[in-house]
Chains A and B, each alone.
Chain A
Amino acid sequence: AQKITQTQPGMFVQEKEAVTLDCTYDTSDPSYGLFWYKQPSSGEMIFLIYQGSYDQQNATEGRYSLNFQKARKSANLVISASQLGDSAMYFCAMREDTPWDSGYALNFGKGTSLLVTP
């Protein structure tokens, strides 16, 4: 079963606008972590932001914030004041804290391609 779902294959946003990238997850583990990564065309995965399942507040890192709604099992990424350099693939990932099962490996969604236009 798909553990991470990203329903937006592609998104457009105008420069300086905010954009929300959707992510829903599925787990029965009470302890888990949620991550967002950016993958430019060069291929390298760049860590953006992390949210732990027990964190009370939404994570923020500069222009990135994570809208964590635990009851809905969603972890949407909000990018404020988009820049042309934000154009890339964005992946949501989850780590379940069950090292006896999958270790600490990340389960990735299929990604959302974001294009920022002038």
Chain B
Amino acid sequence: EAGVTQSPTHLIKTRGQQVTLRCSPISGHTSVYWYQQALGLGLQFLLWYDEGEERNRGNFPPRFSGRQFPNYSSELNVNALELEDSALYLCASSPLGSSYEQYFGPGTRLTVT
């Protein structure tokens, strides 16, 4: 069974630019979660998508947005990049429901200069 995949692996952007990160969940999983892991801040919940809808978001500004496609893959968009957006962005998938663990992808490492 293929795991969660993310692309690209690494990304370097300039402050003010926009970036799109992609995630494909495990087959059969309908929920996709995005987390940010910035140095010294631990993992912070960003967004939760299920069945194509944004279900919840963490304490992040509106320039962090995304969507989920009919095949349950997801994109995370970050506009007007700031230096503090430099982080590892992790995507996780799970079947809908509270009793399931989340399986993580390898992450996208974003560097903003």
Contact = CB atoms under 8 A, between A and B. Distances in A.
Interface residues of B, number: 25
A43 B102 contact: no
Nearest to A43: B107
Interface in A26-50: 31, 33, 35, 37, 42-47, 50
A90 interface: no
Interface string A84-117: 0000000101010101001111111111000000
Contacts of A103: 48, 55-56
Given A45-B92, A99-B98, A103-B55, A108 B42 contact: yes
Interface string B74-102: 00000000000000101010100111011
A95 B94 CA distance: 13
A102 B42 CA distance: 18
Contact of A42 (B33, B103, B106): B106
A105 B48 contact: yes
B28 interface: no
Interface residues of A, number: 27
A45 B98 contact: no
Contact of A104 (B42, B88, B94, B106): B94
Contacts of B106: 42-44
Interface string B32-59: 0101000000110100100000011010
Contacts of B24: none
Interface of B: 31, 33, 35, 42-43, 45, 48, 55-56, 58, 88, 90, 92, 94, 97-99, 101-107, 109
Interface of A: 31, 33, 35, 37, 42-47, 50, 52, 91, 93, 95, 97, 99, 102-111
